[in-house]
Amino acid sequence: MSNTVLKTITEQCQGECPHCRSNNLDYGVVDFSGDNLLWFPFICDDCGASGHENYIMRYSESEADLEVEE
């Protein structure tokens, strides 16, 4: 009987699977964590690895639309 263990691979490879480097990822729904963290879960359609891409949000700008008479 063989034992299997879960191995975590952490790489900076946005849009690619950290295991096989495929860009054939099936993304799930974005999840927010804390004040400025978000992550996109994915499953690699080529090797079957599952994981998530982590992002740190930062404020960029505010924008508003309003009607004005010309």
* pTM score of the predicted model: 0.72
What are the phi and psi torsion angles at 24 (to 5°)?
-90, 70
What span, in angstroms and rounded, lies between the C-alpha atoms of 35 and 52? 18
Domain range annotation of the chain: 25-56
SS3 40: strand
| pLDDT tens digits along 8-57 | 888 888 999 999 999 999 999 999 887 789 999 999 999 999 999 999 98
Beta bridge partners of 56: 37
Alpha carbons within 13 angstroms on the beta-carbon side of residue 52 total 13
Q: What angle do CA 46, 54, 49 make, to 5 degrees?
A: 20
